[in-house]
Amino acid sequence: MAYLLEGNQLYKSFGGLMATNGMDFHLESGEILGLIGPNGSGKTTLFNLIAGVFKPDKGRIKFMGEDITGAGCAAICQKGIARTFQITRPFPFVTVLENVKLGRAYGSAPAETLDLARKEAEEILDFIGLGHKKSVPAGRLGLIERKRLELGKALATKPKVLLLDEIMAGLNPTEIQAATNLVKGIRDSGVSLIVIEHMMKAIMGICHRVIVLNAGKKIAEGAPREVVLNLEVIEAFLGEDQDVED
């Protein structure tokens, strides 16, 4: 079966520490895939391998049937894979609109004109709930707004696959529900997603399937309600494993 995105036997070590140890994964079109595990389990390392930050020591990654292993961040973004970061990275001294507008110059389908880039950036800001802040310098945004802007910047590249790295961390229950609805809306717009989250309520509410990592290895995979009852998963979350990357 041909998947939208897949990785086979991915290995990545940092010095003597194995961050990703023979990892296999796949993402189907229209799917929201959850990626969970204790701190240091290799979740962000896997995102970095997919997004081109790192090249795996071994293994291959394919996107829409094309081998993209080690292609580099810019090339992978232009092919249609975008990501967010746990620590938001806006351009603080320009407006929220300019932050998203800049993203429309890159990615898989760059805007043909500046006027079109502005129009599409405004549409993205309205979609993520930041239209009323478009003229505000990004550095003045609060935490929740910066998380939304981070998402808007990623969406501005017109991805087919979006990697979300803990966008719900630090949110209250009302904000989590709003973020959950937003993620579902992104999926409904035709974007497939892989989501790293520590908040199990969010994972249960949005994901079709979940992969659980521990010490760089996949220890469980399946429907969210099945995975949370897995004894190996329960033991992993009760432990104190630490690794190179979360």
pLDDT in tens, 65-123: 999 999 999 999 999 999 998 888 899 999 999 999 998 988 888 999 999 999 999 99
Q: Return the pLDDT at 243.
A: 41
User: Could you give the percent of the chain with pLDDT greater than 90?
Assistant: 69
Stronger pLDDT, 245 or 22, i.e. the higher one: 22
Assigned token pair, 55: 């090249």
Q: Specify the CATH number for the domain of residue 221.
A: 3.40.50.300
Confidence of residue 126 (pLDDT cuts 50, 70, 90): very high
Q: Which residue has the tokens 């550095």?
A: 139
178 within some domain: no
- pLDDT above 80 (res 1): no
Strand partners, 34: 195, 210
240 alpha-carbon distance from chain centroid:
24
Q: Return the pLDDT at 245.
A: 45
91 within some domain: yes
Cα-only R_g, the chain: 18
Same domain, yes or no: 75 and 91: no
Confidence of residue 203 (pLDDT cuts 50, 70, 90): confident
- By residue range, what is the domain housing residue 73? 1-80+159-166+185-194+207-246
Q: Return the pLDDT at 172.
A: 85
Q: Which residues of 101-112 are buried (b: 16+ CB within 10 A; e: fewer)?
A: bebbebbeeebe
Number of independent structural domains in the chain: 2
| Integer Cα distance of 246 and 243 in angstroms | 7
- pLDDT above 90 (res 176): no
246 within some domain: yes
H or E segment to which residue 198 belongs: none
Same domain, yes or no: 72 and 93: no
200 within some domain: no
19 within some domain: yes
Amino acid identity for residue 139 in this structure: G
68 within some domain: yes
Same domain, yes or no: 34 and 97: no
215 alpha-carbon distance from chain centroid:
20
202 within some domain: no
Q: What is the DSSP string of 2-18?
A: --SEEEEEEEEEETTEE
Q: Which residue has the tokens 């890159």?
A: 106
Stronger pLDDT, 243 or 224, i.e. the higher one: 224
Same domain, yes or no: 54 and 95: no
- pLDDT above 80 (res 134): yes
Q: Return the pLDDT at 107.
A: 80
Same domain, yes or no: 141 and 26: no
Q: Return the pLDDT at 109.
A: 87
186 alpha-carbon distance from chain centroid:
12
14 alpha-carbon distance from chain centroid:
22
- DSSP collapsed to 3 states, 34-57: EEECCCCCCHHHHHHHHHCCCCCC
- pLDDT above 70 (res 240): no
**For the segment 27-75, what is each residue's pLDDT rounded down to a tens digit?**
999 999 999 988 889 999 999 999 999 999 999 999 999 999 999 999 9
